[in-house]
Amino acid sequence: MLRQYRRPMQTPTLTAFRPLQFLLLLSCVIASGSYAQGLLIDQSLQPPVFTGGGYQFFHYDAVLPSLVAETGQEFTPSLQGLDFADVNLYNRIATNTGTFEIAIHQGNIASPVLGLSDQVVRSAASSQSNTHFAFSSTVPLVAGDLYVLEVIQLAGDSGWTIEVPVSAVVNGQTIDMNYPGGRLIYGGVPQDNQDMIFREGITVPEPGATTLCLLGVLAFGLIRKGWLWTEHLV
């Protein structure tokens, strides 16, 4: 008569991980702690995008003579927070440099500051007017309320201004360049029927980081099931 032999139950330890599972879990940890993030745009006013093919043309003019105190843009968010803001800073003089930041106010530009962005240094070497400002922590907002994005120059040369669209034409068709959720503020005074080029929103994890984390969780699950278990004894 054959006697059944039952192998003693083994307690899982870290030494039982195979290299593959260890690498998956390590990738999950790295991805979770990394800055692999994308931008989710909430409110914006942007020039038309070139899609290629055929003749396309647009123009928008920096009509403001200079960047003075209390200059910004009203906006009405649909999200409950803000992590970044982009504005188009126009450099009138080729040798200009400047240090800038964004302040967020609720209601009007004279109200207390809810949040300040990190400082950004612009130089004459940069030919791109679009300037990205990130906030170290999310600025809490109330969806549907009115806020003001203020552009502040902290240091540098004069002659900087912001881009304000006058008109946009794509293949002979005029594009509406008015933002419906607010107005341009110049020197503390609202400017009816004028807006600045801007966008704002939050940062979100990119799919790549999320996928790696899911792989790590899957590896844990398979190990617990015993499907990826190393059975030989050390």
Query: What CATH number is associated with residue 175?
Result: 2.60.120
Single pTM value for the model: 0.71
For residue 1, tell me if it sits in a domain. no
Identify whether residues 161 and 220 lie together within a single domain.
no
Contact between 111 and 38 under an 8 Å Cβ cutoff? The reply is no
Q: Is 202 exposed, middle or buried (0-12, 13-18, 19+ CB in 10 A)?
A: buried
Instruction: Name the more confident of 64 and 225.
Output: 64
Q: What is the pLDDT of residues 141-168, one digit of tens each?
A: 999 999 999 999 999 988 888 888 877 7
Instruction: Report CA-CA distances (Å) from 99 to 65, 106, 163.
Output: 18, 24, 17
Shared-domain flag, residues 95 and 211 = no
Please indicate, yes or no, whether residues 135 and 150 belong to a single structural domain of this protein.
Answer: yes
Question: How large is the C-alpha radius of gyration of the chain?
Answer: 27
pLDDT in tens, 167-190: 777 777 777 889 999 999 999 999
Q: What is the pLDDT of residues 195-223, one digit of tens each?
A: 999 999 999 987 655 555 555 555 555 55
